[in-house]
Amino acid sequence: MQRHAYRLHSGSLSYLNLIEEPLPGPGPGEVTIAVKAIGLNFADIFAIWGLYSATPEGDFVPGLEYAGVVARVGEGVTHLRE
């Protein structure tokens, strides 16, 4: 499975890049979500500009909130289905 995401290094929107990369399958007790929408909030904007205290080091995918559907389930997941 491939994923498309906007990855950036904080400091400027000029560092924003659309990437396509392999997405590993879910591990035991995990699920993979096919994201349909995200909420871009002030924490995301501050992280993009490098002003948020919890901004990840290096490259990151912005978006703290999302909505989607279960695309794959890992071993042992019984309460959700694809």
For residue 52, the domain's CATH number is 3.90.180.10
Distances (CA, A) of 59 to 39, 49, 67, 70: 19, 13, 22, 26
Domain contains 53: yes
- Under the banding of pLDDT at 50, 70 and 90, the label for residue 78 is very high
Give the dihedral sign, CA 27/31/36/38.
negative
Q: CA-to-CA distance for 38 and 63, rounded, in angstroms?
A: 6
Query: How many structural domains comprise the chain?
Result: 1
Domain contains 34: yes
Query: What pLDDT does 80 receive?
Result: 93
- Under the banding of pLDDT at 50, 70 and 90, the label for residue 29 is very high
Domain contains 82: no
Query: What pLDDT does 54 receive?
Result: 83
Question: Structure pTM?
Answer: 0.74
Tell me the residue length of the chain.
Answer: 82
